[in-house]
Amino acid sequence: MAKREYNFIDIEGKWQGFWEGCGLFRADEASKKEKFYCLVMFPYPSGTLHVGHGRNYIIGDVVARYKMMKGHNVLSAIGWDAFGLPAENAAIKGGTHPAIWTKNNIKAMKRQLHRWGVGYDWEREITSCNPDYYQWTQWIFLKLYENNLAYKKKAAVNWCPSCATVLANEQVVEGCCERCDSPVRQRDLEQWFFRISQYAQKLLDDISLLEGWPERVKTMQANWIGRSEGIRIDFKLENSGRALPCFTTRPDTLYGVTFISLAPEHPVLRELISGTSQEKAVMDFAERARNQGMVERTAEGTEKEGMFTGKYAINPINNDKVPIWVANYVLMEYGTGAVMGVPAHDQRDFLFAKKYNLLIKIVIQPGDNELHAGTMKEAYIDDGIQVNSGNFDGMPNTEAINKITIHLEFKGLGTKTVTYRLRDWLISRQRYWGAPIPIIYCEKCGTLPVPESQLPVILPEAVEFKPHGMSPLAEVDSFTNTVCPKCSGTARREIDTMDTFVDSSWYFLRYLSPKDSSHPFVTKKVNKWLPVDQYIGGVEHAILHLLYSRFITKVLCDLGYLDFKEPFRHLFTQGMIIKEGAKMSKSRGNVVSPDILIDKYGADTQRLYILFIGPPQKDAEWNDRGVIGAHRFLNRLWQKIVDYEDFYIRIQRVDIVINNLSPAAKTLYRQTNQTIRKVTEDMETSWHFNTAIASVMELLNHVDAFHVAIPTSAAEELDFHVFRHSMETILLLMAPFTPHICEELWEVMGHKPSIFQKPWPAYDKDAILEEVIEIVVQINSKVKSRLSVPVDMSEDELKRIVLNDERIAGFLQGKKVINTIVVPGKLVNIVVK
Ligand code: ANZ
Ligand code: ZN
């Protein structure tokens, strides 16, 4: 009979069809099995996928298949984060409507996912740009609005004067418009915000619930929220006596204040200078500083710049009169927008004071050497002893922090406060390709939410994409003109659309009832399936997407729609695949396309290579030769099994009894069980696919070394059983990684598909115990001890064990080991002086 070929093209097509047909990935709502919700971050349909993207979906698929075999009722679904700027840019450039562009990309990407053998419950597919989805994104907006968590205020946007358009942050390149290169300015527009700041403390506290998250990501979340404990100290304006609160974390430096600096946006600024000779100069400066943009202003390397307002404030602790400046490095959005300047102990203030020749006053001394203001090269920011600080002199500054705080609070000059770096979430986009914000403006009745019954507010199809001042929606009369839901008079619709992060902040709830036309999600179902058991995605989403999803989940929980506070129980962030030292990208031209590789070697080869390339949470360098290595391994596996094709059915199965086995068979049986244990542990402890695969590869080497014969005698049959057990184990262990070839070979070995309906193998506890022998330990050829060790322990390992043995170590004390001689299986002799 002709040997079967490893015809991966046919095999992969066959099994992809089979899984689809039998509904392998269909989550069973009625199942009694324990649920497992496996979620990959839903992709943005940007075009075609490269192998770097593949890592994400392949890892998700491995997790889902593994959990299936572990006996779970697995939910694994996919959708499309389909609104956003690239589609709109494509429309501006190429004239294709964003809807068409998006649809085509989804089609191409779906095909690629299929070709990788990545399985999903496709009936749950969702697309965020479809009205049946964004209707509910709008519903979420309404819920936030009703609960005073959505509000409108003026805020700065990036504005390109020459294109006359608003730019997203990513369209601003080094302060200039990405399209025309003219300098970008800041402009104030009325915009919508979500009040995430109200949840800052909860978002911080509940990081403790994120047990299965990487520490690094938890730290990033905490830093982004940025809780700061400090005090608001009221300085008084010299003339009016009005309070000017300054937020500081260092009240111990209060005696060292030599100026106050205001944010250029600070409302008190105009009042201070109005009618003075500086008015124009200061306002011009403020305008310039604002146009630098927030990011630039806070960057460490940015030059600290400012201007004196001509006015003074009074330091409440010592009545010092200090000049009030305006400075680019003070932000209106943080603290109170006014900072007490302490150049001796704050580096930014130090640079500022040096530049403008302001007084530097030391109030904390290191203790060992004495600092002098005239010779300081940088601010002294460490702890020390208070000086020039009135009654607080001589006190450690760490103590003075409390003492001065108490003193100020007692005198009513300050209030202890907590400040968060987290800003409210600006969700308005002056863009077309997003979910319209469901708000109506009536001249008579004011701002009104669109009634729920009128959702969705449909995005009109026919719009002009040429960039101009506002959202392209502004010019679509049929969209903007509407009827007031209250007085039925004529009214206008909001023309801004929502940030796409709103779409992605709740999609994991929609997979549970993707087609429900009357609710965004069904409380009972989401409470059953969530939190997500394993979330998988790129670390680039470690801050915003995760924070927004956590926020929306908390809001919905507080409103009684959900009974869980955190959406994602475990998080896995995979590393990037690097090519020629850089992240794969079209513009760099270093993209590896999966299609060519699949044609040449098959999807399983590509999957195996991607999973074997390195620890999955780390970046890894792509190497074409590695692909060939993976392919060779699969060919070996194939060959090994088809070589004995006729015997799997002919030789009846029997239970393996360890004691009846030949020594070689016993060893292989033990190695097989040890491999099960190792692979299972690798899967359970944060998905070490690469080491799991390495141990299976090692097992195949052991099988090769075993030299199973074509069985002609009872003894040889016994060996064959052990061989068969090893090969079946290899297939079961490899099935999540390389599912097609394993299904095929599983069938070749006489089983009915699907291998994913078989339980994950358990190891035989007795079989993994290694056979032990007793070895003699000598020192200078005199017997000192006897040790029991595994029979096939390596020489190095044996030496290590012997030298670490307590008894032996005792004998060796004070002596020098000259040599260690090992007689395998018998003795170790240590030669000492
Ligand atoms: C005086 C002082 C002296 C300060 C000193 C620091 C060191 P964190 O820890 O990040 O919360 N600050 C306050 N509001 C600001 C704003 N709107 N823009 C820029 N800087 C602002 O930082 C708190 C410190 O940042 C505050 O404490 C204040 O400077 C500054 F030796 O006050 B500090
Ligand atoms: Zn009205």
pLDDT tens digits along 132-146: 999 999 999 999 999
Contacts of 446 (CB under 8 A, 6+ apart): none
Element (H, E) at 187: strand 185-194
Number of residues in the chain: 833
> Ligand 1: residues within 6 Å at CB?
228, 247-250, 253, 263, 329-331, 334-335, 337, 339-340, 342, 345-346, 419
Is pLDDT of 669 > 90? Answer: yes
Round to whole Å and give the CA distance between 4 and 743: 15
DSSP three-state, residue 393: coil
Q: According to the CATH classification, is domain 772-832 in 3.10.20.590?
A: yes
pLDDT of residue 252: 97
Contacts of 15 (CB under 8 A, 6+ apart): 117, 739, 740, 743, 744, 753
Q: How much is the average pLDDT of 665-683? A: 94
Q: Which CA distances in Å does 187 have to 211, 499, 813?
A: 42, 19, 78
Is pLDDT of 771 > 80? Answer: no
Q: Which CA distances in Å does 221 have to 166, 214, 501, 541?
A: 29, 11, 16, 11
Is pLDDT of 366 > 60? Answer: yes
Contacts of 536 (CB under 8 A, 6+ apart): 38, 39, 40, 41, 56, 59, 60, 63, 571, 572, 573, 574
Q: Whose CA is nearest to atom 25 of ligand 1?
A: 248
Tokens of 294: 């927030």
Closest ligand (CA of 331)? 1
Is pLDDT of 758 > 70? Answer: yes
Give per-residue pLDDT as tens, 57-96: 999 999 999 999 999 999 999 999 999 888 888 888 878 8
Closest ligand (CA of 380)? 1
Is pLDDT of 677 > 80? Answer: yes
Q: How far does residue 332's CA lie from ligand 1's centre (Å)?
A: 12
Q: Whose CA is nearest to atom 2 of ligand 1?
A: 250
Q: According to the CATH classification, is domain 623-757 in 1.10.730.10?
A: yes
Give per-residue pLDDT as tens, 447-457: 999 999 999 99
pLDDT of residue 714: 82
User: Ligand 1: which of 246, 292, 317, 339 to mutate, judged by most atoms within 8 Å of the beta carbon?
Assistant: 339
Give per-residue pLDDT as tens, 301-316: 888 999 999 999 999 9
> What angle (nearest 5°) sits at the alpha carbon of residue 810, between those of residues 809 and 813?
85
Q: Which residues pair with 191 in a beta bridge?
A: 153
pLDDT of residue 826: 84
Question: Of all atoms in ligand 1, which is nearest to the CA of residue 298?
Answer: 19
Q: How much is the average pLDDT of 421-433? A: 90
pLDDT of residue 82: 96
Round to whole Å and give the CA distance between 700 and 271: 80
Round to whole Å and give the CA distance between 79 and 41: 9
Q: Tell me the pairing of strands 772-779 and 827-832.
A: parallel
pLDDT band at 292 (very low <50, low <70, confident <90, very high): confident
CA dihedral 222, 226, 231, 234 (to 10 degrees): -160
Give per-residue pLDDT as tens, 227-266: 999 999 999 999 888 999 999 999 999 999 999 999 999 9
Q: Residue 145 CB: number of other CB atoms within 10 A?
A: 21
Q: What percent of the chain has pLDDT over 70?
A: 98
- 765-774: long-range contacts, CB 8 A cutoff, minimum separation 24: 766/658, 767/658, 767/669, 767/670, 767/672, 767/673, 768/670, 768/673, 768/674, 768/677, 769/670, 770/670, 771/666, 773/825
Q: How far does residue 322's CA lie from ligand 2's centre (Å)?
A: 52
Q: How much is the average pLDDT of 520-524? A: 96
Q: Which CA distances in Å does 227 have to 205, 209, 419, 491?
A: 11, 18, 6, 42
Question: Of all atoms in ligand 1, which is nearest to the CA of residue 379?
Answer: 31
CA dihedral 768, 774, 778, 784 (to 10 degrees): 110
- The distance of Cα 58 from the centroid of its chain, to the nearest Å, equals 17
Q: Whose CA is nearest to atom 18 of ligand 1?
A: 330
Q: How much is the average pLDDT of 546-562? A: 97
Please indicate whether residue 207 or residue 796 has the higher confidence score (pLDDT): 207
DSSP three-state, residue 318: coil
Question: Of all atoms in ligand 1, which is nearest to the CA of residue 419?
Answer: 11
Domain with CATH 3.90.740.10 in the chain: 227-420
Closest ligand (CA of 485)? 2
Asked if residues 55 and 594 have their Cβ atoms less than 8 Å apart, the reply is no
pLDDT of residue 756: 97
pLDDT of residue 563: 97
Q: Angle at which helices 51-69 and 603-612 pack, to 10 degrees?
A: 90
User: Residue 531: is the preceding peptide bond cis (ω within 30°)?
Assistant: yes
Q: How far does residue 493's CA lie from ligand 2's centre (Å)?
A: 12
Asked if residues 222 and 204 have their Cβ atoms less than 8 Å apart, the reply is yes
Q: How much is the average pLDDT of 705-722? A: 87
Question: If you write DSSP's letter for every residue of 398-420 in order, what string do you get?
Answer: HHHHHHHHHHHHHTTSEEEEEEE
Q: Which CA distances in Å does 167 have to 431, 470, 579?
A: 9, 11, 31
Question: Of all atoms in ligand 1, which is nearest to the CA of residue 257?
Answer: 1
Contacts of 666 (CB under 8 A, 6+ apart): 658, 771
Q: How far does residue 334's CA lie from ligand 1's centre (Å)?
A: 9
Round to whole Å and give the CA distance between 610 and 619: 11
Asked if residues 569 and 533 have their Cβ atoms less than 8 Å apart, the reply is yes
Q: Tell me the pairing of strands 425-426 and 414-420.
A: unpaired
Give just the sign of the alpha carbon dihedral 272, 276, 282, 284. positive
Q: How far does residue 629's CA lie from ligand 1's centre (Å)?
A: 56
pLDDT of residue 104: 94
pLDDT of residue 470: 64
Give per-residue pLDDT as tens, 98-157: 999 999 999 999 999 999 999 999 999 999 999 999 999 999 999 999 999 999 999 888
Asked if residues 740 and 731 have their Cβ atoms less than 8 Å apart, the reply is no
Q: Which CA distances in Å does 21 have to 68, 69, 204, 216, 605?
A: 17, 19, 46, 41, 24
Q: How far does residue 192's CA lie from ligand 2's centre (Å)?
A: 20
Residues 507-541 as b/e (b if ≥16 CB within 10 A, e otherwise) read bbbbbbbbeeeeebbeeebbeebbbbbbbbbbbeb
Highest mean predicted confidence (pLDDT) among 82-86, 323-327, 710-714: 323-327
Is pLDDT of 663 > 90? Answer: no
Q: Whose CA is nearest to atom 12 of ligand 1?
A: 339
Amino acid at 520: P
Give per-residue pLDDT as tens, 167-196: 767 677 777 887 778 888 888 889 999 999
User: Ligand 1: which of 346, 352, 421 to mutate, judged by most atoms within 8 Å of the beta carbon?
Assistant: 346
Q: How far does residue 440's CA lie from ligand 2's centre (Å)?
A: 9
CATH topology of domain 227-420: Isoleucyl-tRNA Synthetase; domain 2 (3.90.740)
Closest ligand (CA of 488)? 2
> Would you give the end-to-end CA distance of the chain in angstroms?
69
Q: How far does residue 450's CA lie from ligand 2's centre (Å)?
A: 12
pLDDT of residue 472: 82
Classify residue 388 by burial, with Cβ atoms within 10 Å: 0-12, 13-18, 19+. middle
Q: Whose CA is nearest to atom 19 of ligand 1?
A: 330
Q: What percent of the chain has pLDDT over 90?
A: 69
Q: Whose CA is nearest to atom 26 of ligand 1?
A: 248
Query: Tokens 């102990």 appear where?
Result: 345
Tokens of 210: 């994120």
pLDDT of residue 813: 86
Round to whole Å and give the CA distance between 502 and 567: 15
Give per-residue pLDDT as tens, 569-594: 999 999 998 888 888 877 777 888 88
Q: Is 14 annotated as a binding residue?
A: no
Closest ligand (CA of 482)? 2
Domain with CATH 3.10.20.590 in the chain: 772-832
- The distance of Cα 5 from the centroid of its chain, to the nearest Å, equals 42
Round to whole Å and give the CA distance between 530 and 37: 7
Q: Which CA distances in Å does 305 have to 264, 302, 325?
A: 11, 9, 10
pLDDT of residue 582: 82
Contacts of 797 (CB under 8 A, 6+ apart): none
Which candidate, 442, 605, 769, places its Cα nearest to that of 58? 605
Asked if residues 465 and 472 have their Cβ atoms less than 8 Å apart, the reply is yes
Asked if residues 235 and 272 have their Cβ atoms less than 8 Å apart, the reply is no
Is pLDDT of 804 > 90? Answer: no
pLDDT of residue 107: 95
Q: How much is the average pLDDT of 775-787? A: 88
Q: Residue 156 CB: number of other CB atoms within 10 A?
A: 19
Q: What is the mean pLDDT of the chain?
A: 92
Domain with CATH 1.10.730.10 in the chain: 623-757
